[in-house]
């Protein structure tokens, strides 16, 4: 296949690939499921080979797809209701750290910390399907779509400290395309939850696969884990790189290389 005419957008351009075409009033209920084996790989960039596809995992489609149809686990009302108990928990943490929660500078800290934590995890308040319903377009477009450098801020589920970095997404459309800013929304929803980088990478790729039924999808995330940097496990400037390749991105080395070259350029 010749994809020499790839379209490449940077996240800043916010070019809406589907603006001129008809909106698919889609719910995804009627869509055929297709198997999505994923593969994630982690490596510290300093020592790393370039991210690429491996076919080490062939998970049954159903278990991977669950995340796509998941229910919203938290509402804005839930936030209000749980704020006092969250704040009380932070008071306990302050005491446990040897601090005096009554100290002037800390008086409002439990409430601030609780509110901040709710914000950092606001991805639980949203479902991917709600974001995408009006954003998928039918278009006669079969060139590789690349979106590079989507900012990502997440929280490590093992230590509750930040993971941050950049997400690169590419897909080869099979008629359906997605407004490009929506790719960033998918990243935002999944990353604003407690995460591990490998799962985040896979969830983004699977969501795009489910929504667009493309010929292939590639997602690469380069991220810094503060739990590793601050404990000296990882150097400040080294990054953890994960990738998930689905469909033709996994099966065809040429397509995959094209994607990996484009996101580095
Ligand atoms: Zn961690």
Quote the distance between the C-alpha of residue 110 and its chain's center.
29
pLDDT at res. 62: 39
Query: Among residues 188, 198, 225, 234, which one is catalytic?
Result: 225
Is the distance from CB of 135 to CB of 208 less than 8 angstroms? no
Distance 41 CA to ligand 1 centre (A): 17
Task: Enumerate the CATH 1.10.286.10 domain ranges in the chain, comma separated.
Answer: 73-123
Catalytic pick from 141, 156, 188, 198? 156
58 is catalytic: no
Question: What does the buried/exposed string (b/e) look like for 67-93 if buried means 16 or more CB atoms within 10 Å of the residue's CB?
Answer: ebeeeeebeeeebeeeeeebbeebbee
Instruction: Write the DSSP assignment of the chain as a string of letters.
Output: ---TT-EEEEGGG---TTTTS-B----STTPPP---------EEGGGPPPP---------HHHHHGGGGPPP---HHHHHHHHHHHHHHHHHHHHHTT--TTSGGGTTHHHHHHHHHHHHTGGGG--HHHHHTTTEEE----SPEEEEEEEEEEEETTT--EEEEEEEEEEE-SSEEE-HHHHHHHHHHHHSSEE-HHHHHHHHHHHHHHHH--SEEEEEEEEEEHHHHTTTSS-TT--EEEEEEEEHHHH-HHHHHHHHHHHH-
Cα-to-chain-centroid distance, residue 25: 24
Q: For this structure, is 13 an active site residue?
A: no
What pLDDT shows up at residue 79?
Answer: 94
Residues of the chain with CATH 3.30.1130.10: 129-263
What's the CA-to-centroid distance between 132 and ligand 1, angstroms?
30
Instruction: Tell me, in angstroms, the distance from the centre of ligand 1 to residue 225's CA.
Output: 7
With CA atoms as reference, report the closest residue to 190 among 217, 216, 219.
Answer: 219
| Annotation says 159 is catalytic | yes
Q: Establish whether 156 is a catalytic residue.
A: yes
Residue 125 is a catalytic residue: no
Question: Is 3 annotated as catalytic?
Answer: no
- pLDDT for position 234: 78
Catalytic residue among 126, 143, 159, 251: 159
pLDDT of residue 179: 80
| Per-residue model confidence (pLDDT) at position 56 | 38
Examine the residue annotation and report whether 158 is marked as an active-site residue of this protein: yes
12 CA → ligand 1 middle, Å = 30
Please say whether the beta carbons of 107 and 91 come within 8 A.
no
How confident is the chain (265 residues) per 10-residue block, as mean pLDDT? Answer: 44 36 30 37 38 38 48 86 97 98 98 97 91 80 92 97 97 89 94 97 95 95 95 84 98 97 92
CATH class given for the domain over 129-263: alpha beta
pLDDT at 45 (0 to 100): 38
CB 118 within 8 A of CB 83: yes
**Residue 114 Cα to ligand 1 middle (Å):** 19
User: Considering only the top CATH level, what class is 73-123?
Assistant: mainly alpha
């Amino acid at each position: 296949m010749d994809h020499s005419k790839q379209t490449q957008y940077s996240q800043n351009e916010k070019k809406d690939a589907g603006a001129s075409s008809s909106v698919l009033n889609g719910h995804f209920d009627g869509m055929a499921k297709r198997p999505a084996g994923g593969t994630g790989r982690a490596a510290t960039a300093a020592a790393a080979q370039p991210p690429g596809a491996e076919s080490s995992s062939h998970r049954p489609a159903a278990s991977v797809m669950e995340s796509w149809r998941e229910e919203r686990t938290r509402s804005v009302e839930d936030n209000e209701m749980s704020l006092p108990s969250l704040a009380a928990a932070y008071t306990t943490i302050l005491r446990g750290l040897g601090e005096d929660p009554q100290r002037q500078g800390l008086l409002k800290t439990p409430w601030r910390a609780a509110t901040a934590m709710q914000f950092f995890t606001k991805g639980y308040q949203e479902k991917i399907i709600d974001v995408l319903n009006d954003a998928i377009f039918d278009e006669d477009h079969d060139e590789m779509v690349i979106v590079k450098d989507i900012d990502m801020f997440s929280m490590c589920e093992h230590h509750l400290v930040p993971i941050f970095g950049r997400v690169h997404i590419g897909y080869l459309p099979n008629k359906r395309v997605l407004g490009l800013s929506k790719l960033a929304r998918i990243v935002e929803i999944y990353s604003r939850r407690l995460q591990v980088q490998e799962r985040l990478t896979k969830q983004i790729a699977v969501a795009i696969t489910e929504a667009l039924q493309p010929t292939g999808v590639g997602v690469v995330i380069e991220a810094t884990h503060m739990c590793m940097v601050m404990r000296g496990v990882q150097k400040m400037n080294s990054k953890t790189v994960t990738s998930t390749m689905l469909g033709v991105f996994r099966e065809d080395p040429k397509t995959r290389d094209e994607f990996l070259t484009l996101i580095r350029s």
